[in-house]
Amino acid sequence: MKLARTLAVVALAALAAGAAAQDKPAPAGLEKATFAGGCFWCMEPPYDVLPGVVSTTSGYTGGQKRNPTYEEVSAGITGHAEAVQVLYDPKKVSYEKLMEVFWRNIDPTVKDRQFCDVGTQYRTAVFYHTPEQKRIAEDSKAKLEKSKAFKAQIVTPVLAAGDFWPAEDYHQDYYRKNPVRYKFYRTGCGRDARLEELWGKPAR
């Protein structure tokens, strides 16, 4: 009984720590932006190289369950989407720029999938944290729609941000920790080939 009680206390402490982590406000002078763009491994790199971005965190948002695990999310049973939360300095990089990077790293014309990954957990979405972010995101989407860059309709929604649950440690900076596996996955999934088809070759 004593062991069971100890394990229960540890589990509750872990749950509380997870809740605190996802509710933590941005430090003074910084802001948060949250984007779902399919596999979160692939959404960290384009933001990490952007001047003004302080950090990126892979995680889960848009679902019902508190403190979801990767296994639950990847099975599509929690309603969450894989997402990346960007902590940035608005004096050094604008939300408009973050939106530009977002569009150019996703296929906004498909629903509930990205590249080789299929399911609602791989849907795309912009999750705004402030009325200003909402305005900018909606304006950015409207401009993209007006440009008629694609034959298909843009289906990426702009939604209010909710709880964000950081993913397990091994998912954070995956492209740095496992560069060979990351490159194999990204290439095999056809991500870069499709992005080039949609947006053209990236600027060097």
Residues of the chain with pLDDT under 70: 1-23, 203-204
Instruction: Look at residue 4 in the predicted model and tell me its pLDDT.
Output: 35
SS3 content of the chain, % helix, strand, coil (to 5): 45, 20, 35
The ranges assigned to domains in the chain are 29-199
Whole-number Å distance between alpha carbons of 86 and 74: 22
Q: Which residues are catalytic?
A: 39
The sign of the CA dihedral 78, 84, 90, 95 is negative
* pTM for the full predicted model: 0.87
| Distance separating alpha carbons of residues 82 and 40, to the nearest angstrom | 6
pLDDT digits (tens, 9 = 90+) for 178-196: 999 999 999 999 999 999 9
The first and second tokens of residue 52, run together, are: 């003004």
pLDDT attached to residue 80:
98
Q: Which CATH class is domain 29-199?
A: alpha beta
- The predicted pLDDT at position 24 comes to 75
Pairing of strands 158-160, 124-128: parallel
